[in-house]
Amino acid sequence: MYSLLPRRTDVARAGAVLDGAVATSSRPHRQDVLIGAVGLAGGLLLWAAGLHTQAGRVFGAPWAALVPLVVTAALEPLRRTRPQTAVAVGTLALVADQFTTGSLVTILMYTDLMYAAVVYGTPAAARRVPVVTFLVTVAVTIGFFAWFRRPEALLFGVVTGLVTFGPALTGVSVRNHREAAQAARLRAEQTALLAEMDRVQAVTAERSRMARELHDMVANHLSAIAIHSTAALSIDDPATSRDALGVIRHNSVEGLAEMRRLIGLLRDNGGEEGPSAAPTLASLDALVEQARANAASSGLTVTLDDARRVAERLPAPVELAAYRIVQESLTNALKHAAPGPVTVRLDREGGSLTVEVSSVIGTRPGPRAPGSGAGLVGMAERVALLGGTIGTGPVGGGPDGEEIWRVRAELPVDEGTRG
């Protein structure tokens, strides 16, 4: 899971690129130092060979051309860390170079500084530099043409554009491609992260569903087994032990069948003998009959009151949820209810199915099975998935004034029911 998560440093760096601020170290990059060194060596070589770009300038001494060359070469290590400072000082050095015999290397290094100012500068600089260089190129072209009034004067504008506007335009193109690539990488990482989150959520939801099914299917049988085995061990009566062993055997066989059904659902191999269908409301009679047999020794009388006018088939998720709610409620009654009636009631009111299970609150003699509270949580989760409501807790109104524990759930059965 975590291998798909982008590292914090990558996210910070990517965010900086998308915001236009390239995170750089204050130390010069080795490549920039190498560019400056090679440029300086090349300029000295041309100067030693007597190759200059112009003649008859104010500072005609050959050594004067070395000053702009050295300054420009010294600015190359700053092309990434201080790009705007480098291009500003480099512009002054280039202007100064025009008053000397000149060096081709000085011009070439200046074009690199102009390119770096756009690629590594701030977003404002990246937008401003191409505009300024374009306006300078236009101004130089118009100025020299107006001065000389000859077509050859347009060459000054062409050279100015090649030295300033051309590198700036190239820098804009490179910067846009880099930001597009970085944005695409970020989108890919975000997509992978969202996909992993969806997968984890799906796995978590499936595990929760499996936990609810396992608890609801097995808890009832195991509770009956625990109670009757404890009774068989604590009551020294052959008839009681025989009855308890019968209940234990019946619940162990039923529990094993339920486990096999769950394993079949998990495998879902689509064979000829596929997993059995999920329980429905039509199976409530058998469930109540089984609960009645399990609870007989505890003094509980379990009855089913189906108040629905028509026992129509409801959506499968609704019937499964209602069945599991009744099953878990009967299990809780077997564990905790005092001797007395346990009533299961179904009713259809408008667009909802009402499931209600009530039992007597109190103390009763005999063994009890421990509870963890997972059943109440599972019922609430099932109801929430269907968009229904559930209430559990004590209410008054028992026939003999005793307090009643009631579980009441309302499950929507319209076409918009969520499953």
157 and 39 share one domain: yes
Burial (CB count within 10 angstroms: exposed 0-12, middle 13-18, buried 19+), residue 227? buried
Task: Report the distance separating Cα 125 and Cα 31, nearest Å.
Answer: 23
Which structural domain range is residue 308 located in?
277-419
Domain assignment present for residue 89? The answer is yes
Q: Are residues 336 and 187 in the same domain?
A: no
312/176 same-domain check: no
SS3 73: helix
15 plus 164 within the same structural domain: yes
Asked if residue 414 has pLDDT above 80, the reply is no
- Give the domain-ending residue among 161, 177, 195: 195
* Residue 359 · residue 300 · CB < 8 Å: yes
Closest CA to 390 of 350, 358, 359, 354: 354
The answer, yes or no, to whether residue 87 has pLDDT greater than 70, is yes
Q: Which helix (H) or strand (E) is 81 found in, with range? A: none
For residue 334, give the CATH number of its domain.
3.30.565.10
Distance CA 308, CA 242 (A): 39
Summarised one tens digit per residue, pLDDT across range 264-307 is 766 665 444 444 556 788 888 888 888 888 777 777 889 999 88
C-alpha–C-alpha distance, residues 337 and 364, integer Å: 8
Determine the longest span between alpha carbons in the chain, in angstroms: 129
Name the domain boundary from 130, 161, 195.
Answer: 195
Evaluate whether residue 362 is within a structural domain: yes
- Flag whether 254 is in a domain: no
Rounded Cα distance between 272 and 263, Å, is 16
Same domain? For 295 and 186 the reply is no
Q: Give the count of domains, the chain.
A: 2
Look at residue 27 and tell me if it is in a domain.
yes
Same domain, 32 and 174: yes
Query: Are both 191 and 281 inside the same structural domain?
Result: no
Residue 310 β-bridge partners: none
pLDDT bucket at 404, cuts 50 / 70 / 90 = confident
Bridge partner list, 392: 407
Burial class (CB in 10 A: 0-12, 13-18, 19+), 278: middle
Q: Of 246, 219, 207, whose CA–CA distance to 332 is shortest?
A: 219
* 392 in the same domain as 294: yes
13-17, 130-134, 224-228 — which is least confidently predicted?
A: 13-17
- Asked whether residue 222 is assigned to any structural domain, the reply reads no
8 A C-beta contact, residue 342 and residue 300: yes
Rounded Cα gap, residues 15 and 176, in angstroms = 15
Sign of CA dihedral 218, 220, 223, 224: negative
pLDDT for residue 12: 47
Which neighbouring-strand residues pair with 357? 344, 407
Report the pLDDT averaged over residues 361-380. 66
Domain closes at, from 142, 176, 195: 195
- Least Cα distance to 410 among 363, 366, 356 occurs for 356
Task: Say if residue 309 is in the same domain as residue 176.
Answer: no
Task: Decide if 205 is inside a domain.
Answer: no
User: Would you state the structure tokens that stand for residue 400, as one six-digit string?
Assistant: 């003999």
Residue 136 lies inside a defined structural domain of this protein? yes
Is residue 56, in this structure, part of any structural domain at all? Answer: yes
The pLDDT assigned to 71 comes to: 95
pLDDT band at 9 (very low <50, low <70, confident <90, very high): very low
**Does 160 lie in the same domain as 284?**
no
The Cα–Cα gap between 237 and 294 comes to 18
pLDDT exceeding 70 applies to what percent of the chain? 83
Contact yes or no for 52/101 (Cβ under 8 A):
yes
Tokens 């005793």, residue located: 402
